[in-house]
Structure 1
Amino acid sequence: MRKFLVSLFFAVICATGVMNAQLPSVTLKDINGKTVQTDTLSNGGKPFIIDFFATWCKPCNRELTAISEVYEDWVAETGVKLFAVSIDQAQNINKVRPLVDQHGWPYEVLLDPNGDFKRALGIQMIPYVIVCDGKGNIVYKHNGYTEGAEAELIEKVRELIK
């Protein structure tokens, strides 16, 4: 029983540490070819969202489209910013911009063709969403998408600006 309690204690401590972890430092490019360091992603002291997607991932596309329908309101209310990170491999990178343009997604789009950023965060499945506070601390993670899940996402952001 004691070993179980000690293990539980360390699991809780580790989980708490992970949820307040900083973003790892990975070099990516944005959709326009500009180099971006992931550990410097920020939103002027306001919360931001990182949403991992791929052009071939239908749930990812539904999630980013659903968010885009309310994104303007979110920005007006909370000042939140969303970074959409494509994990499409190098041979499919040319499909990212047409998809973004087709849907009119207003996000800053980053490219992770080698999966370095995804791997550094331990992400296994997409869609995968991370919410960071104004200091860049990871405060919430979620994978998968079901209709209406964006309501939970904005609630997490609202909690950060109280």
Structure 2
Amino acid sequence: MKNLYLIAFFVSINVFSQELPNISLQNIEGKTISLKNDFKENDKIYIFSFWATWCGPCVNELDEMNDLQEEWKKNINVEIVAVATDDSRTQKRVKPLVKGKEWNYNVLLDTNQDFKRAMSIANVPYTIVVKNKKIVYIQNGYVPGGEKDLYEKLKTL
């Protein structure tokens, strides 16, 4: 049992000292965005929310964060980035969904799932919080009200 705790400890150290991978993705407008270069503002918190158009909990989470992000920005230097993991078959649904929902996020397309794979993400929704180029918090899954817990965590960073 002691060895299991040590393994969990070292895995968590490895994840939380990890930086964003050196990958470029396109946003829904077709502009190329570099994860290493475009998300590096000191003391700014970046929330990367991995989602897919076919994932109901993902859409619910992004709806809730969209409603709350202006309030969050009043108290925290934060930017939410929605990372669509839809493949080439379903990618065409991303832009209409984002426009229809009126989400005010930077939306990136991880069509080949390079970012998702680099972060060892198995399932969406999955949220990674980055500050000063380091991963400082991870949240796997979504339950209603989870965005309030996330906000409380953000305030401690």
- The number of aligned residues is 156
Per the alignment, residue 114 of structure 1 pairs with: 112
Cα deviations across residues 7-50 of structure 1 (Å, max 9, x unaligned)?
64354133212112101112211111111122234262211100
1:39 paired with 2:27, answer no
The amino acid across from 1:159 in the alignment is T
TM-score when normalising by structure 2: 0.92
1:23 paired with 2:24, answer no
Larger-Rg structure: 1
Residues 73-88 of structure 1: pairs in structure 2 closer than 5 A: 73-88=71-86
SS in 1 for 2:154: helix
Return the offset for 1:117: 0.5
Of residues 115, 140, 153, the one that matches 1:156 is 153
CA distance in 1, matches of 2:36, 2:4: 31
Per the alignment, residue 101 of structure 1 pairs with: 99
Of residues 134, 137, 141, the one that matches 2:134 is 137
Contact 1:43 1:80 survives alignment (8 Å): no
Per the alignment, residue 122 of structure 2 pairs with: 124
Cα RMSD (Å) of the superposition? Answer: 1.5
SS in 2 for 1:138: strand
Per the alignment, residue 56 of structure 2 pairs with: 58
Q: Which moved more, 1:93-102 or 1:123-132?
A: 93-102
Unaligned runs of 5+ in 1: none
SS in 2 for 1:82: strand
Among the aligned pairs, what percent are the same residue? 38
CA distance in 2, matches of 1:89, 1:20: 29
The amino acid across from 2:135 in the alignment is I
The amino acid across from 2:124 in the alignment is I
Unaligned runs of 5+ in 2: none
Check 1:121–1:38 CA distance in 2 against 1; reply closer, same or farther (3 A cut). same
CA distance in 2, matches of 1:55, 1:37: 23
CA distance in 2, matches of 1:7, 1:138: 23
Contact 1:51 1:129 survives alignment (8 Å): yes
1:14 paired with 2:5, answer no
Contact 1:43 1:81 survives alignment (8 Å): no
The amino acid across from 1:65 in the alignment is D
The amino acid across from 2:88 in the alignment is A
TM-score when normalising by structure 1: 0.89
Per the alignment, residue 143 of structure 2 pairs with: 146
